[in-house]
Structure 1
Amino acid sequence: MAHHHHNKGHQQSSSENIKTAFFLNLFFTIVEFIGGIYTNSLAITSDAIHDLGDSISLGMAWYFQNLSNKKPTKTYSYGFKRFSLLGAIINSVILLVGSFFIIIEAIPRILNPEHADAKGMMWFAVLGIIVNGAAVLKLRKGTSINERVVSIHMLEDVLGWAAVLIASIIMQFWDIPILDPILSLLIASFILYNVFKNGRESIRIILQGAPVLISIDQVKAQVIKFNEVKSVHDCHLWTMDGEYNVLTMHLIVDETLSWKQTKLLKTSIRNLLYDKFHLEHITLELEISSEDCEYIDCV
């Protein structure tokens, strides 16, 4: 048996919020590339590459937010949630190539600084803070995990534009053109850090590792608290996409339990594990104390 918890009340609003943030970000990414060339600012160009990655992430989040409503098929019995990993991999490749491009361009500019249009940078920074800030406010009203994660990502963009704004103001009063390539290197380093961080998480999901914030020992400890459960074995815990978590588990129970009592026990365990660990797909197999299980030596 499997237990599913659905929260359809907010799915439509979640999709609309992410859609709005996507179009805001995509529009501004195009503006940024034009602005980076116009102002001769490598910092703005590097942030444009960062925002291009954000646009892809938002587009994928929007697409998969809608796709997640689609029912599983015979081919994809767990549904389509893991398809989001494909978006993460594409996004990572684009950001990786873009970051190396920025680094290659920035090093010669540090050795031989070129003047950028500081005033133009300042106005683009103000626009960046407004557009990304609007996206953050839109997403923070949402309730889904998807929205919260994207909201934090957009907030990082606001902070990045704040750094560009400060640098552009400084460059208007002091002749320090080297600030622009230094800032672009910092942005590129930040992008690379996130690429490797997200890449490591994607590999963990592909290899069916346990969710980062959930310990299988903690799950076992909660289940064994039920008086009807004598022991637990053959536990398998993994995540489909970093958010939708799956658990299978064998429980040894007393043979005196009635069918009604076992059904109530399963329901109670599922509700507890969902509330405490956000485990959404739970399969429990009950065995009596005297029953031999070939998986008795499993995890």
Structure 2
Amino acid sequence: MSNHNQHNHSATNNISTAFFLNLLFTIIEFFGAFYTNSLAIMSDAIHDLGDSLSLGMSWYFQKISTKKATKIYSYGFKRFSLLGAIINSIILLIGSFFVIYKAIPRIINPEESDAKGMMWFAILGIIINGAAVLKLTQGKSLNERVVTLHLLEDVLGWVAVLIASIVMQFWDIPILDPLLSLAIAFFILFNIYKNGKESIRIILQGAPIKISLDDIRDAILKNKNIKSLQDSHLWTMDGEQNVFTAHLILVDTSITSKESLKIKQDIKAVLLNKFQLEHITLEIVNLEDSEYIDCVSSS
């Protein structure tokens, strides 16, 4: 088995382990929320449900990410992850509004929660989510690193629940529970907005956030053989696989086909090294007779 296949297999196993740990604890959380009458645990359960969906989809797309392109999906299957992100955001959005709807009356008329029960669930949450984080930190893929950061947020959320539950055991402050649930709900809504904004940008074929089309143009125009660019486009398939296409206008239009190929290969090498581009298509245009010279594509 090649190193690439070994890394992919390891990443799939790491994410699947984290997924099952998170899903099992999410189910326990919902029961715990009703048992302790805690909105904070309920809101964290909804958050963890979203995380379980994210992990499940990350696991699935990690498995299919190496599938070859087909006649129907010529760029491959990476953009399917956007469907998962949108579905996940809708579920989290509904859950967050449910928590807010339940929390506001309990701020006005606080209800007692089982603080000791909340404390034990918080400890369990820190242990299980912490185990998932430790499992994922063994991996090297970008997918694993992103999911690890997401689960670290969960650990911090449970630390907040733990602190609140300990405080409520010594002081009668039942309003802490709905306040904490609101904080978690608004945190989820903030992430929905941030991730949704990025998903819409990708769907509408906007340029990648970290790459400037102007910077790419400047890098190409540094080549002494290039006079100008036409019809240049930059977009991303899934936030990671970035695509660039352009028509190049040469200073000297009398060059041979072999020379034009060398110019494009040189430019392609510069772009691959300097920018996170995985698919580059360059075409040289002969303005004198409006004919296209050969094109070279990199994927």
Q: Same fold (TM over 0.5)?
A: yes
Q: 1:14 Cα deviation (Å)?
A: 1.9
Distance of aligned partners of 1:83 and 1:38 in 2 relative to their CA distance in 1, 3 Å threshold: same
Partner of 2:57: 60
Query: Offset at 1:205?
Result: 1.0
1:171-204 deviation digits (Å, cap 9, x = unpaired): 1111111100000000011111111221111111
Aligned residue in 1 for 2:233: 236
1:43 deviates by 0.3
| Residue of structure 2 in register with 1:282 after alignment | 280
Q: Deviations over 1:224-269 (max 9, x none)?
A: 2222322222111111111111111111233354444433433333
Task: Pick one of 268, 271, 286 that aligns with 2:269.
Answer: 271
Could you state the TM-score of these two structures normalised by the residue count of structure 1? 0.90
Q: Equivalents in 1 of 2:49, 2:117: separation in Å?
A: 21
Which region of structure 1 is more displaced relative to structure 2, 95-104 or 285-294? Answer: 285-294
Query: Which residue of structure 1 aligns with residue 253 of structure 2?
Result: 255
Which residue is equivalent to 1:147? Answer: 144
Partner of 1:3: none
Rounded to whole Å, the distance in 2 between the matches of 1:145 and 1:267 is 28
Q: Match for residue 48 of structure 2? A: 51
- The corresponding residue for 1:74 is 71
In structure 1, distance between residues paired with 2:205 and 2:291: 24
Percent of matched pairs sharing the same residue: 67
Report if the CA contact (8 A) 1:24-1:135 is conserved: yes
Task: Give the superposed CA RMSD.
Answer: 2.0
| Deviation digits for residues 47-93 of structure 1 (CA, Å, limit 9, x no counterpart) | 00000001111111111111121111111111111111111111011
Alpha-carbon distance between aligned partners in 2 of 1:14 and 1:258, rounded to the nearest angstrom: 47
Give the unaligned 5+ runs of structure 1: 1-6, 295-299
Q: Distance in 2 between matches of 1:139 and 1:262?
A: 46
Q: 2:107 aligns with which of 103, 106, 110?
A: 110
What is the aligned counterpart of 2:124 among 123, 127, 151?
A: 127
2:199 to 190, 197, 202: 202
1:193 has 2:190 as partner: yes
Which stretch shows the higher mean deviation, 130-139 or 171-180?
Answer: 130-139
Structure 2: how far apart are the matches of 1:150 and 1:293? 49
What amino acid maps onto 1:39 in structure 2?
T
After superposition, the Cα gap between the structure-2 partners of 1:153 and 1:263, relative to the gap in structure 1 and judged at 3 Å, is same
Aligned residues: 289
Which one of 127, 132, 137 corresponds to residue 134 of structure 2? 137
Aligned to 2:296: none
> Which SS does the other structure have where 1:177 is aligned?
coil
Mapping of residues 14-25 of structure 1, within 5 Å: 14-25=11-22
What secondary structure sits across from 2:111 in the alignment? coil
* CA–CA separation in structure 2 for the residues paired with 1:124 and 1:264: 64
Task: Judge which range, 189-198 or 258-267, deviates more.
Answer: 258-267
- 1:269 alignment partner AA: I
Counterpart residue number, 1:98:
95
Structure 1 residue 211, shift from structure 2 partner: 0.8
Q: What letter matches 2:241 in structure 1?
A: Y
For 1:293 and 1:182, how far apart are their aligned partners in 2?
A: 67
SS in 2 for 1:150: helix
Name the TM-score, length of structure 2 as normaliser.
0.90
